[in-house]
Amino acid sequence: MKFLEQNIPGLVLVESKVAVDVRGDFVKTYHEVMWRDAGLAFELKEEFYSTSRAGVIRGMHFQVPPAEHAKVVTCLSGAVMDVVVDLRVGSPTFGQSRTFELTAVNRNVLFIPAGLAHGFIARTEGSLIHYKTSSVHSPEHDRGIRWNSFGLDWGEAAPLVSARDAAFPGLAEFRSPFVYETQG
């Protein structure tokens, strides 16, 4: 596994270990010791998946304290443009977004620390996204920012967005409870 730190502090793209032979392939996406040695503390509390039609945007989601969580996201089938926005007050990248192509072919895994909003747009029909989170879903702490409020070109003229996601406040209206803490 390779751990590639990104320009948003704490955000890490993980290149999975892949073994291929005549039977097919075997992909390792998580190894506790390797992740810990890479500085990624993650304790699994809940996991789930979603399937989406091409052109669907899901996001931008997060949970606020005290139920905030880190996420580990993988595309198991199809392809998505995965998106994160830094919501941590005091972060050198506060309000900035970053995108990643997560596909069943590249097998990359994204580690998203608490304090970042997360979403994606499905690029292919039936895109299957698998999520692991470090806390369980808490409806009273579940929040989001509107998908089109932070200047990202999603590459889709008429995306399919849920009423809930369309009703989230814009980034400029959101008062973040997240505070950036430097490591060290």
Q: What are phi and psi of 37, to 5 degrees?
A: -65, -25
Q: Choose, from 61, 69, 118, 137, the residue flagged as catalytic.
A: 61
Which DSSP state fits 39?
T
Residue 166, helix vs strand vs coil:
helix
Is 61 labeled as catalytic in the residue annotation? yes
Q: Which residues of 104-136 are buried (b: 16+ CB within 10 A; e: fewer)?
A: beebbbbbbbbbbbbbbbbbbeebbbbbbbbbe
Amino acid at 161: V
Q: Choose, from 30, 131, 141, 180, the residue flagged as catalytic.
A: 131
Q: Alpha helix locations (H) across the chain? A: 32-37, 163-166
Is 30 labeled as catalytic in the residue annotation? no
Q: Which residues are catalytic?
A: 61, 131
